Amino acid sequence: MLDPRFVRENPEQVAELLRKKKFDLNVEEIKSLESERKTVQASAQNLRAEKKQASKQVGQLIGQGLSVDEAKAQVAEQLSKIDSQLAEAEVREQAILSALDEIMLGLPNLPHESVADGDSEDDNVEVRTWGTPREFTFEPKDHVDLGEKLGLDFDAGAKLSGSRFVVMRNKIARLHRALAQFMLDVQTGEHGYEECYTPYLVHGHALRGTGQLPKFEADLFKTNAEEQEQPHYLIPTSEVTLTNLVADSILEADQLPIKLTGHTPCFRSEAGSYGRDTRGMIRQHQFDKVEMVRIVHPEQSFEALEEMTGNAEAVLQKLDLPYRVVALCGGDLGFGATKTYDLEVWLPGQQKFREISSVSNCLDFQARRMQARFRNPETGKPELVHTLNGSGLAVGRAMVAVMENYQDEQGRIHVPEALKPYMGGIEIIE
């Protein structure tokens, strides 16, 4: 979350910055709550001072000749009244703080000054391109038509689980597995990430830590709360589990940066994307992803953002898949991100670039929620770390890109050179 004190003291400035994200901050509500908080807090402080002063009167009355019991009895009524007023003030102060906390949990991260204005993905800024889309001597098919005879079975997925699920068989399933293993090897062997295996089910506090709760609960799959003390949620991304490994921690400065990666399925109800990308594997309820997470010193997070984007690009370059990098505009920027680069791979079947990775710098937004800190060696005091996350890459979308870019006129898929060591000698999927 944002620094609550900064928001309370500078609501107009925060509101102006959040307009770039198309978020309307209720400034008057914050100012009203903050004004009342200060009034109640001052009242509570005055009452505590009165109580302290009243307690001293016992000794003064004894000094004036009253017995201990007489002195206490004389002051007791005054203390009881003060205690009652103080309890009311403390209850109200806590209610105001709770209301402010709820507002803070719903506020997105502030966009970086370099983020362009814009309303949607149409206003994102192209940063660079790599590779040249292949010129086909035939009309290329999309992955759905290609996969129909190769083991990509959407009917079986729907039979088992409903729409937006898929069953993979035979060499297509092998290709999907090969891509995940290849991506993990690139990130661990060449870029220095530590491979992790983490749970697929988490408690709500982990999702609050990375910003999925409370705002995006409708997009999550949740277990039956009545059967458990607290429900579990299926992870929407292993960003949740990898980042939360440093929650409630004070790291030493020499432990930074921490670079983590993991391959997991991801589960999303896609409640906010009704009707979008219903064909094929672009937007599924269950999909696989190799995630990258970094925990870094605050002074190094923007340098890390550029490096992580390059780490994701390396996978596409090794697969020889044309792509472009775009910087997201304010209106397309995610809830927890201050700046994001999207990698968009070329899909011949759609004749367009489609997102295959997002790499985001969250600054201390998640760290403040998680209380993830490091000890500054110069001051000896704990400070919030910065967190970053990115796809390295989305496995299903990478498979779509391989299928469409490496197809031939017979509907066969030629395995990219980089994947051949992972395919057990298979060079053509037919």
391 is in an annotated binding site: yes
Q: What is the pLDDT of residue 55?
A: 73
114 is in an annotated binding site: no
Q: Helix 170-189 to helix 395-405 angle, to the nearest 10 degrees?
A: 120
Mean pLDDT score, 420-430: 97
Distance separating alpha carbons of residues 204 and 254, to the nearest angstrom: 31
Q: What percent of the chain has pLDDT over 90?
A: 88
pLDDT-based confidence at 62, cuts 50/70/90?
Answer: low
| Token couple for 287 | 């999909």
pLDDT, tens only, 152-199: 999 999 999 999 999 999 999 999 999 999 999 999 999 999 999 999
On whether 238 is known to bind a ligand per the annotation, the reply is: yes
126 labeled part of a ligand binding site? no
Angle, nearest 10°, between helix axes 170-189 and 301-318? 140
State yes or no: pLDDT of 52 exceeds 90.
no
Q: Does 70 score more than 70 pLDDT?
A: no
Instruction: Consult the annotation and say whether 269 binds a ligand.
Output: yes
Is residue 303 marked as binding? no
Region 132-139: mean pLDDT is: 97
Domains and CATH numbers, the chain: 4-106 (1.10.287.40), 121-429 (3.30.930.10)
pLDDT at res. 152: 97
Q: What is the CA radius of gyration of the chain?
A: 28
User: What's the per-residue H, E or C state across 176-209?
Assistant: HHHHHHHHHHHHHHCCCCEECCCCCEECHHHHHH
Average pLDDT over residues 420-429: 97
Is 239 annotated to bind ligand?
yes
383 is in an annotated binding site: no
Peptide bond before 393: cis, by omega within 30 degrees of 0? yes
28 labeled binding residue? no
Report the mean per-residue pLDDT for the chain: 94
Task: Check the annotation: does 389 bind a ligand.
Answer: yes
Pairing of strands 152-153, 167-168: antiparallel
As a three-state string, the secondary structure of the chain is: CCCHHHHHHCHHHHHHHHHHHCCCCCHHHHHHHHHHHHHHHHHHHHHHHHHHHHHHHHHHHHHCCCCHHHHHHHHHHHHHHHHHHHHHHHHHHHHHHHHHHHHHHCCCCCCCCCCCCCCCHHHCEEEEEECCCCCCCCCCCCHHHHHCCCCEEHHHHHHHHCCCCCEECHHHHHHHHHHHHHHHHHHHHCCCCEECCCCCEECHHHHHHHCCCCCCHHHCCECCHHHCCCCCEECCCCHHHHHHCCCCEEEEHHHCCEEEEEEEEEECCCHHHCCCCCCCCCCCCEEEEEEEEEEECHHHHHHHHHHHHHHHHHHHHHCCCCEEEEECCHHHCCCCCCEEEEEEEEECCCCEEEEEEEEEECCCHHHHHHCEEEECCCCCCEEECEEEEEEEEEHHHHHHHHHHHCECCCCCEECCHHHHHHCCCCCEEC
Annotated binding residue 268? yes
Residue 289 pLDDT greater than 80, yes or no: yes
User: Is the pLDDT reported for residue 398 higher than 90?
Assistant: yes
